[in-house]
Amino acid sequence: MLNNKVINIAAIFSLLVLLFLDKYLALPIPFWAYGLPLLIFLPPTIHGAMNIEAGFFMKVWCKADTTEKVVALSFDDGPDAIYTPQILDILQQQEVPAAFFCIGKNIRGNEHLLKRIYADGHVIGNHTYSHDFWFDMKLSGNMLTDMQQMDAVTVHATGLTPRLFRPPYGVTNPNLARAVKAGNYLPVGWNIRSLDTVAKDETELLNRILERLTPGAVILLHDTRKITADILPQLIQGIRQQGYQLERIDKMLKVRAYV
């Protein structure tokens, strides 16, 4: 499997080969050739950082290993005072469990929504406290502190300590891998990205998700978007019409949701 360790070894090995040819065999090595290790390193590393399914820096649970027609809904970035209640109402009416990867700073003032998420049978996951744009540039210790802040407000509101963690924007790197390991989190991604944060057309959004359904799929949505609340009943109906059952993410992945 192509991952960070393999790429690092390949880049270092190629550099050592160039140095050996230059120093010990006295072969004429053009200056540009020393850029080859960088070319080996950068493209897959950037792709791995931006593509959570790659599992490049750490193993991330992005789908269930199953042939059963089950999928899981997950919602990021809440709780939101306007749209989270609407989404919870729809899920309750349709008897559908889901996962909510919450931002800690959004919990303050919305503790009642966090309590309802759990009371309604859904899972609460950690999506950091700040969801800072520069989160990925932090040192691992600072990342861990941010993640633990989210845990603290969740514990205060519900008594629960989330184990499931979803990185902001789905970006991973070595510092995050260290923070996840130090905090004993289970990183969870997705394999169907709805793009509901930028979607304008409801039909296109629905089709994008429904056309990508596969057994064990994890669907990424956001409970901060009007379009998501608007299409959710049709999405649930469309999923069921294709013969799929909607399962809670921790049960589908067969993992423990809380510490």
Count Cβ atoms within 10 A of the Cβ of residue 3 and give its class: 0-12 exposed, 13-18 middle, 19 or more buried. Answer: middle
Q: How far apart are CA 246 and CA 26, in angstroms?
A: 64
Annotated catalytic residue: which of 76, 80, 146, 250? 76
Annotated catalytic residue: which of 127, 222, 223, 250? 222
Q: How far apart are CA 123 and CA 258, in angstroms?
A: 9
- Beta strands per DSSP E along 95-212: 98-102, 123-126, 164-165, 186-187, 192-193
Tokens of 64: 């269930």
Q: How far is CA 252 from CA 44, 137, 217, in A?
A: 30, 32, 9
Q: How far apart are CA 149 and CA 104, in angstroms?
A: 7
Tokens of 158: 């519900």
Could you give the 3-state DSSP secondary structure of residue 70?
strand
Query: Is 76 an annotated catalytic residue?
Result: yes
Question: Do residues 151 and 124 make contact, with C-beta atoms less than 8 angstroms apart?
Answer: no
Query: Is 222 an annotated catalytic residue?
Result: yes
Q: How far apart are CA 250 and CA 100, in angstroms?
A: 12
Q: Annotated active-site positions, please? A: 76, 222
